[in-house]
A and B are shown apart, each in its own frame.
Chain A
Amino acid sequence: MKKFYPLITLAVLLVLPLLGFSTYVMHIFILLLMWATIGMSWNLLSGYCGQVSFGHAAFFGIGAYTAGILYSKAGASPWLGLPLSVFVVGVFAFIIGLIVLRLRGPFFALATLASGEVFRVSAENMDWLTNGTLGIMLQKRLWVSKEPYYYIILAIAVATFLLMKYLISSKLGYFFVAIREDQDAADSLGINTTLYKTIALVVSGMITGVAGAFYMNYMGYIDPHIVFALHDVSIITIMIVMVGGVATQWGPFVGAVIMVMLQEAVRSIGSLGALHQAIFGLLLIFIIIFLPNGIVGDFGKIKRFFGLGRVRA
């Protein structure tokens, strides 16, 4: 039965738009798939390879700006940004990796955080390229209805899911986990840790970059504070995976569902608006203390708590 879960989920996701939901609900589904994609890419680098990144906003933003600059400066279709961002973000991720992968653990985390901030400040100040804080706006989006966007992001999410599945079960995946568990031991076994960490970073960055380019096309407006945001992109990405389950295949999906729902719920209740960071923070603290491996990773724990499932001796 378990084997068919991905197929069932895919079938449900494929027919969802045919059920005639309102555009708002479709919007939430699109965001959900986008965040799940970003979550999966973060999960590859941080969950499997153990390099906790606080700077995925850098890749997201570079992807979005690749599409945006292509449109505003070169006059090309921003959709070309999707394939182009793979290349551009790949190059940037490689350069970032040269610097930050020298560090380990918490220092790596903070170095990536700093790299995200560097790109935000640069994007704010390089008016000639990025329009500075004014941002880039598409005159006209390609489609008015949500369905085409939905299927595009669904395709990206499914491709990412399959890529992750392939990578994790391949030799690379085992190298990644070995590096996470003990980098020195992995080194001594002849694994070129720098090479494989760079691979994880570049692949993870590319996927996030594509999601960023999609965001530009879908939302039609970006500015440095939106796409290079520390809390609203980097930290949300971490939260999605932490809540869903670190180093699990379904974790990012579960996390994305919970986080996007929570975000929308908080936004719809006006008086809670200012508190949304506090709610997220409390959720994060709660998850780390009680469910450190996330909902998927600690599912047995949850079941036991509610008195379900078999009690293990």
Chain B
Amino acid sequence: MVQLEVFLQTLVSGLLLGGLYALIGLGMTLIMGVMKIINLAHGELMMVAMYIAYWLFTLLGVDPYVAVFIASPALFILGVLIQKYLITPVIKVESILPENQVILTVGIGMVLASLATVFFKSDYRSTPVDYASVTWYLSDFWQNSPIELSISLLWAVSFVFSILITLALWFFLSRTDIGKQIRATSQDSDAAILMGINVNRVRAFSFGLGSAIVAAAGCLFIPLYYLYPALGGQFTLIAFVITILGGLGSNIGAIIGGLILGVFESMTSTYIGMGWAPVGRFAIFIAALVFLPGGIASLLKSRRLGK
């Protein structure tokens, strides 16, 4: 019974973690779909958003969940500026290696992380909200429940928030004009130009949108996690693994990929050991590359479940 309890608890916390991972992955898959480049500064953008949320909380007492609505627009502007003044000029430059844009985003990430170290020192910071210790137990709701499970309020709220943001994004992409333009550009940018879509503006917009989504993820993460300047790198990798696992540029794939990764990571840390969780992450990554190169999106497509 205890075995089952541990398993279910691990599964639940994995799913909750996966919901947040999905949000991080969504931001990257959006940028990758439209621009066909990997944004290696993704985690660093999230770190910037987390610092915004942290300072809002410490100086003004703004709740991190409210900070979502401040940090996301700020990062949207930052993303648009990066796209407009750094990435667009590089796309035009002739060079031997086409991966220049990827290396460029590495440079941007280095600058952001280093500036954060200089301004905020490499201390570990967190936002101790007063409802942090609230936890719900299954036995509170069901007296004679044979097994005991617990969910922390913070995790639950973050999870619900990330679902809401995902739904909002889905609505935005499928129902609004600019959302349709983004999807058209990611399918075929030449055809999009011929249809009269201002592709450069769409690119800048989607880089900003991707940054805003990861900023929201950062704000949802900060009450659960701690913050330090070098945190970006690991989340960039997580986002990338999710994108590969889900299928490049596929939103549904990114959500499912995020959930799978969350569950898998939480299983690895329960059953193999805390330190091995990052290796589990890469094991999934490699397995996805070898056995499912098209990602989950290709599975869905072959079953005609979605696109």
Contacts and interface: CB of A to CB of B under 8 A. Distances in A.
Interface of A: 46-47, 50, 52, 54, 99-100, 102-103, 105-107, 109-111, 113-115, 117-118, 121-122, 124-125, 180, 230-231, 235, 238, 242, 246-247, 274-285, 288-289, 292-293, 297
Interface in B199-248: 233, 237, 240-241, 244
Interface residues of B, number: 44
Nearest to A283: B107
- Quick one: which of B95, B97, B99 has the most chain A CB within 10 A? B97
A102 B292 CA distance: 12
B151 interface: no
B282 A284 contact: no
A24 to B, nearest CB: 26
B157 interface: no
B38 A106 contact: yes
Given A121-B276, A124-B275, A289-B90, A277 B106 contact: no
Contacts of B96: 47, 50, 180, 246-247, 292-293, 297
Contacts of B275: 121, 124-125
23 contacts: A99-B289, A102-B290, A105-B99, A106-B38, A109-B99, A110-B38, A111-B289, A114-B282, A118-B278, A118-B279, A121-B278, A125-B273, A235-B110, A279-B114, A281-B110, A282-B107, A284-B107, A285-B107, A285-B108, A288-B95, A288-B104, A289-B104, A292-B96
A52 B99 contact: yes
Nearest to B115: A278
Interface in B99-134: 99-100, 102-104, 106-111, 113-115, 117-118
B93 interface: yes
A109 B97 CA distance: 12
A114 B283 CA distance: 10
B178 to A, nearest CB: 26
Given A242-B103, A281-B107, A285-B111, A50 B279 contact: no
Contact of B111 (A100, A110, A277): A277
B98 interface: yes
Contacts of A122: 279
B286 interface: yes
B97 A46 contact: yes
B177 interface: no
B156 interface: no
B99 A274 contact: no
Given A52-B102, A279-B114, 5 more contacts: A106-B102, A274-B118, A278-B110, A283-B107, A288-B100
B87 to A, nearest CB: 10
Contact of B279 (A100, A125, A230): A125
